[in-house]
Copies of this chain bind each other. A is one copy, B any other.
Amino acid sequence: MRIGLIGAGNLATQLASALAAKGHHFLQVYSRTEYSAGILAARLGCEAVVQPEQICSEADLYICALKDDVLSQVLPRVNFGKGLLVHTAGSLPMTVLSDYTPNHGIFYPLQTFSKQRPVDFSEVPIFIEAALSDSLDLLKNLASELSEKVVQVSYEQRKQLHLAAVFANNFVNYLYSIAEDLVHEKGLDFQYLLPLIEETSRKVKTIAPVKAQTGPAVRFDCRVMNKHLQLLGEYPEWQHLYEILSKGIYERTINKSSVI
């Protein structure tokens, strides 16, 4: 398939690399930043463009992986010809694309991407949607080349997945960063926490998170919790966060018990 790539961020980089590895042909990479477009275009062996008007209209598929807020600045200036235009965002309805071409859809891989870390797409769920049924088939086939989990979902479902991902990824990572600060403060290495972090994430593959819950909050161990709040004395925000999360865990445990 001949693909035009609009955006050169983390997701664009990893998705394009995976599709290129499957033999798909990239015509162009567009980015506002010449540097970003150039790097990725070189990797894909195609042209880099920095003006939306330079995007050619011959592609079969346009993958738009721009930040949500710049979408409406770029897309009106592009002629998509007969190509299928998809965006990769979790939080935008498909209809934001309907002004630009009737042939549009969604291609949302649920994963966290960085430019440096190659991603094994075979395990990554890809959520699709399309305005035209032929295009839905096309997306289904394309996504299935990359992943074993291709699912057609509604916008309602997709935005909920995105919200859940913020909790399971962004917020989790923030808690890791607090943990890192805490151990560094006492001259200890963050590496000591890695086996725990790994096991915590593995556990929920076989045990539902609510059943896997351990720690002072779940058993309402006030002595330990108070000690921890004291230790956090210099960090009122983290103290507050500790209280809220502990309260949430405890209430969740109570509710679970009262249901059973």
- Measuring CB to CB, which residues of chain A are less than 8 angstroms from any residue of chain B? 10, 67-69, 91, 110-114, 116-117, 119, 123-125, 149, 151, 153, 156-157, 159-180, 182-183, 185-188, 190, 192-210, 212-219, 221, 223-224, 227-228, 231-232, 237, 240-242, 244-245, 247-249, 251-252
CB pairs A–B below 8 angstroms (8 shown): A111-B199, A114-B203, A117-B207, A162-B228, A164-B180, A169-B196, A174-B248, A177-B208
Please give, as numbers and ranges, the residues of chain B lying within 8 Å of A185 by CB-CB distance.
160
Nearest first, the 10 closest Cβ-Cβ pairs linking A and B are A170-B215, A201-B201, A177-B209, A176-B209, A168-B179, A164-B179, A164-B182, A167-B179, A160-B186, A123-B195
| A206 to chain B: closest residue by CB | B117
Please give 10 more A-B residue pairs, beta carbons under 8 A apart, in addition to A172-B172, A173-B214, A177-B213: A111-B195, A161-B192, A163-B231, A164-B193, A171-B249, A172-B197, A174-B252, A190-B204, A200-B201, A241-B244
Most chain B beta-carbon neighbours within 10 Å: one of A188, A201, A206: A201
Q: Which residue in B67, B110, B202 is a CB contact (below 8 Å) of A192?
A: B110
Given A166-B215, A200-B201, A244-B241, is A208 in contact with B182 using a C-beta cutoff of 8 Å? no
Given A213-B177, A223-B68, is A160 in contact with B231 using a C-beta cutoff of 8 Å? yes
Given A112-B203, A195-B125, A249-B174, is A188 in contact with B231 using a C-beta cutoff of 8 Å? no
